[in-house]
Amino acid sequence: MRWHRLAAIARKEVIQILRDRRSLFIVVIMPVVLMFLFGYGVSLDLKRIPVCVYDREGSQQSRNLLHRFQGSDYFAVVKAVDNYPELVRAIDTGRCYVGIIIPHDFSQRLATGGPAHVQAVVDATDDNTANLVLGYTEAVVRGFGQEVQLDWLQRKGFAGSGPPLSVESRTWYNENLESQAFIVPGVVAIVMAVIGTFLTSLTIAREWERGTMEQLISTPVTPLEVMAGKLLPYFAIGMFDTALCTSVAIAWFRVPFRGQAVTLFASSALFLVVVLSLGFFFSVVGKSQLAANQASLVTTFLPAFLLSGFLFAIEQMPVPIQIFTRIVPARYYVSLLKDVFLKGSTLGQLRPELFALAVFALALATLATRIFQKRLG
């Protein structure tokens, strides 16, 4: 390993990156765009579900219940109808996701001790969402029911007593149960995986396609010098993008950052070596920019998206797939990022994940260097 050769390659690569608008776009704009795309696009929260109401009574009590729906963040009453077919149409046409029907004897039944029935009609095309909506609906109605019950008890003279049994729940790490806080740290990982492999997947293939590789390998430069010289600038870019994405996560998406910067950058550095080496590997094997690009997309982006725990909890996957996720490097990085952001875990606490990433980094960097032979045939 000679520094003058490594430096020559690194310097040349930097000049080429700075001169190529496309790569500058990928370096600076793409991470931010992806952050916003995934940060907003991939949300598991349901907010302002459109509700259609059919109040058959129109009493003080029925309006109180509807106000509870209106007041909740989860619902938005967008339509009030006075007959059933119109409610059906609102759901059929997709204008409303749920229809609430209050019976004509609602307040009367409440006054006499019930039970009063409120009907909810839900569009269950997407069963997951339907379940969530039903849960929210029941919660609103149950809350209202309890209030009515307390009111009734108080009037009967049982002053001050609340419900006899209740769960005092505390949600840790993500106190507001915001799915964005859960998703955005993972988005940082996805962005790094895409940018990292994407950038380097081009670097060797480009030299083959332009015919500059033959000249390059006719010099005394060693494969290790070529790889290190080429990856060094991209490593710097990767670290810059880590900082960029983290800033967007904290400043824009308001994700709490409870850990230390050193933990974040140590994990990111290891993950970068993994994805950069992987991109380099595909570039060497693919020999064309297109092939290298596609291979890197399929092997990094898809597993990072589906199998890293970014969206879907690994614990809920079938066992064979759970085992398979152990060879998905993004899995460890996603878990590291979530812990650093939300739990504020320290380097020491994250030792197993860091170790796994280090193993991947070492193995892939070695593989990439080995496979890059200074031969034409």
* 75-81 vs 49-55, strand pairing mode: parallel
Nearer to other proteins, 37 or 216 (CB): 216
* Piece of 13-21, 122-130, 171-179, 193-201 that binds other proteins (CB under 8 A): 13-21
Least Å distance between CB 21 and other proteins?
A: 11
How far, in Å, are 21, 215, 296, 361 from residue 207 at the CA level? 18, 10, 18, 24
Dihedral in degrees, nearest 10, Cα atoms 183, 189, 193, 196: 130
Nearer to other proteins, 22 or 155 (CB): 22
* Piece of 5-13, 36-44, 54-62, 359-367 that binds other proteins (CB under 8 A): 5-13
How far, in Å, are 84, 113, 254, 334 from residue 258 at the CA level? 52, 50, 12, 16
User: How many other C-beta atoms lie within 10 A of the C-beta of residue 167?
Assistant: 4
CA distance 116 to 102: 9
Nearer to other proteins, 28 or 217 (CB): 217
CA distance 19 to 55: 66
The DSSP element (H or E) to which 151 belongs, if any, is: helix 127-155
User: Residue 19, interface with other proteins (CB under 8 A)?
Assistant: yes
User: Residue 11, interface with other proteins (CB under 8 A)?
Assistant: yes
Least Å distance between CB 199 and other proteins?
A: 16
User: Residue 375, interface with other proteins (CB under 8 A)?
Assistant: yes
Site residues for other proteins, 239-278, by CB under 8 A, read: none
Least Å distance between CB 287 and other proteins?
A: 15
List Cβ neighbours of 94 (8 Å cut-off, separation of 6 or more).
Answer: 123
CA distance 85 to 54: 10
* Piece of 2-10, 164-172, 254-262, 356-364 that binds other proteins (CB under 8 A): 2-10
Nearer to other proteins, 146 or 212 (CB): 212
User: Residue 14, interface with other proteins (CB under 8 A)?
Assistant: no
Least Å distance between CB 284 and other proteins?
A: 16
One character per residue 114-133, x = contact with other proteins (rule: CB under 8 A): --------------------
Which amino acid would we find at residue 179? S
User: Residue 376, interface with other proteins (CB under 8 A)?
Assistant: yes
User: Residue 377, interface with other proteins (CB under 8 A)?
Assistant: yes
List Cβ neighbours of 179 (8 Å cut-off, separation of 6 or more).
Answer: 43, 44, 45
* Piece of 73-81, 87-95, 354-362, 369-377 that binds other proteins (CB under 8 A): 369-377
Site residues for other proteins, 185-244, by CB under 8 A, read: 210-212, 214-222
Q: Under DSSP, is residue 100 helix (H, G, I), strand (E, B) or coil? A: strand
User: How many other C-beta atoms lie within 10 A of the C-beta of residue 226?
Assistant: 25
Nearer to other proteins, 4 or 170 (CB): 4
Q: Under DSSP, is residue 175 helix (H, G, I), strand (E, B) or coil? A: coil
Nearer to other proteins, 27 or 314 (CB): 27
Least Å distance between CB 291 and other proteins?
A: 21
The DSSP element (H or E) to which 244 belongs, if any, is: helix 223-247
User: Residue 343, interface with other proteins (CB under 8 A)?
Assistant: no
Count of residues in contact with other proteins, rule CB under 8 A: 28
Beta strands in the chain (DSSP E): 49-55, 75-81, 98-102, 119-122
Residue ranges in contact with other proteins by CB under 8 A? 2, 4-5, 7-9, 11-12, 15-16, 19-20, 210-212, 214-222, 374-377
